Amino acid sequence: MKKIDEYQGKKVLVMGFGISGINAAHLLVKLGANVTANDKATPKNNDIVDDLEADGIKVITGDNPISLANEGFDVVVKNPGIPYDNPLVAAFVKQGTPIITEAELGWQIFDGHLVSVTGSNGKTTTTTLTQLMIAENAKHQVKYAGNIGISFSKIAEDLGPDDTLVTELSSFQLLGAPTIHPHIAIITNIFSNHLDYHKTRENYINAKLNITRNQTKDDFLVINWDRDEWQKIAQRSQATIVPFSRLNKSHEGAYVEDGMIYWRGQEVMPTKDIRLIGPQNVENALAAIAAAKLSGVTNDAIKKVLTTFSGVRHRLQYVMEYQQRLFYNDSKSTDIEATEVALQGFDRPVILLAGGLDRGYTFERLVPYFKKHVKAMIVFGECKDKMKDAGNQAGVPVIESENAITAVPEAWKLSEPGDVILLSPANASWDQFPSFEVRGDKFIEAVEELTGKKEQ
């Protein structure tokens, strides 16, 4: 951990009691700040408040009182999910109070080698693969943190100058990380996500590009080269560009040719040996390979990881095989693009479980994928009628169910040996579940109850 004094004696407000907010509050006390912690909700677990207060932190819950804007805070550390049009946040913006996220705080105290990953899809898998690959050859600690569910600042406290940290960073986190400077930055892809938060696609892209804002030619930006738009976005970085591509050969980076992965013209391994399924995971592997090779990792270490790693939980996660049916949990597919790439990963009939929060869009884009890959659909949630319409357009049998749990036995009744039963909702979970993780866990529990087996 790097010793810094910029918070000594400063008055800091931490907004949000998520894992990152709680860790940030305690860290700021260690850094000499006078800390107030605020959450709009009242925590069900009183231990959270007790622990904060025991560390000398003033705690305010149940509201974001606008009066806090008049208390002279020097800095606000905001939960990334709190929008900037929140009245209290907007008041701080108007008066010019610096607003950062916990990722910025983590960077400020980090004293090692930073690799950072962002993108619309594939962030967590790419982050995990990169960390595993670098760790295979490392003599020092190699950890991961960030949007992957582990506090950046908490891990950074325990790492030294020779250690490596691989961080997954969302657009929300990057908006509040003005000085972050990874030596290797990865952009997996950029679609049109979170426009309810960012308002425009250009705002979303600009937030993503904060990952490379402070990079120089001595740093590296690893970026997907499969779309012209992404190639143009790369031109806005000052870093040395390292492309990865599943579709276009580029001797400057990692690419696929005739079923073989290459790094700068040298063979690494066949794509068929990657344990993770689907073209999206070939792309994730290419991004991780580029970062790993830039970090000095051997081909043997890369092969070991890619031939054994079976997936991140809720991200096209293989659950089990039962009576010649394969179950996959892709609850993290909360948008249309993610479900598109999930369906492309299977060369056998799919019974698709889909639906969730109605965000106002329809699913005509999925019709070609339904026609090609899906033999039947079980739909649920607020948008089940829209999802059903798309299934009908594709000529796919559609059954309605209450949720992702009740859909499991319905899918089993429709299945035959050789089928895939896939939860890939194409929608957020918040109409029925507090998070995609809970939705995926409940799906797995339903599969275990059906089969009498534990996930593999």
Q: What is the pLDDT of residues 16-53, one digit of tens each?
A: 998 899 999 999 999 999 999 999 999 877 899 999 99
pLDDT for 265 beyond 80: yes
Residues of the chain with CATH 3.40.1190.10: 103-308
Q: Is 122 annotated as a binding-site member?
A: yes
Please tell me the predicted confidence (pLDDT) of residue 197: 85
pLDDT digits (tens, 9 = 90+) for 335-393: 998 899 899 989 899 999 999 999 888 999 999 999 999 999 999 999 999 999 999 99
The single residue listed with the structure tokens 């870093």 is: 239
pLDDT digits (tens, 9 = 90+) for 385-435: 999 999 999 999 999 999 999 999 999 999 999 999 999 999 999 999 999
Which amino acid is present at 307?
A: T
CATH number of this structure's domain 11-100, picked from the four choices 3.40.50.720, 1.10.20.10, 3.40.50.800, 3.40.630.30:
3.40.50.720
Pairing of strands 266-270, 350-355: unpaired
Q: Is 210 annotated as a binding-site member?
A: no
pLDDT for 268 beyond 90: yes
Which residues lie across from 421 on neighbouring strands? 327, 351
Q: Is 125 annotated as a binding-site member?
A: yes
Please tell me the predicted confidence (pLDDT) of residue 354: 98
Token pair, residue 378, equals 């079980």
Please tell me the predicted confidence (pLDDT) of residue 149: 84
- Give which of 73, 86, 7 is closest to 37, Cα–Cα: 73
CA atoms within 13 A on the CB side of 83: 9
Please tell me the predicted confidence (pLDDT) of residue 212: 98
Q: Sheet containing 220-224: which strands, arranged edge to edge?
A: 142-146, 164-168, 113-118, 184-187, 220-224, 240-245, 254-257, 260-263, 266-270
Class of domain 103-308 as given by CATH: alpha beta
Q: Sheet containing 58-61: which strands, arranged edge to edge?
A: 58-61, 34-39, 11-15, 75-78, 99-100
Q: Is 360 annotated as a binding-site member?
A: no
- The pTM assigned to this predicted structure is 0.83
Distance between CA atoms of 98 and 144, rounded to whole angstroms?
A: 27
Residues of the chain with CATH 3.40.50.720: 11-100
Q: Is 331 annotated as a binding-site member?
A: no
pLDDT digits (tens, 9 = 90+) for 139-153: 999 999 999 889 999
- The Cα-based distances of 181 to 28, 96, 424 in angstroms read 21, 23, 34
Please tell me the predicted confidence (pLDDT) of residue 315: 86
Which range among 178-187, 188-197, 261-270 shows the weakest confidence by mean pLDDT? 188-197
Residues of the chain with CATH 3.90.190.20: 317-451
**Non-local CB neighbours of 3 within 8 Å, separated by 6+ positions:** none
| pLDDT (average), residues 121-132 | 95
CATH number of this structure's domain 317-451, picked from the four choices 3.40.630.30, 3.40.50.970, 3.10.20.30, 3.90.190.20:
3.90.190.20
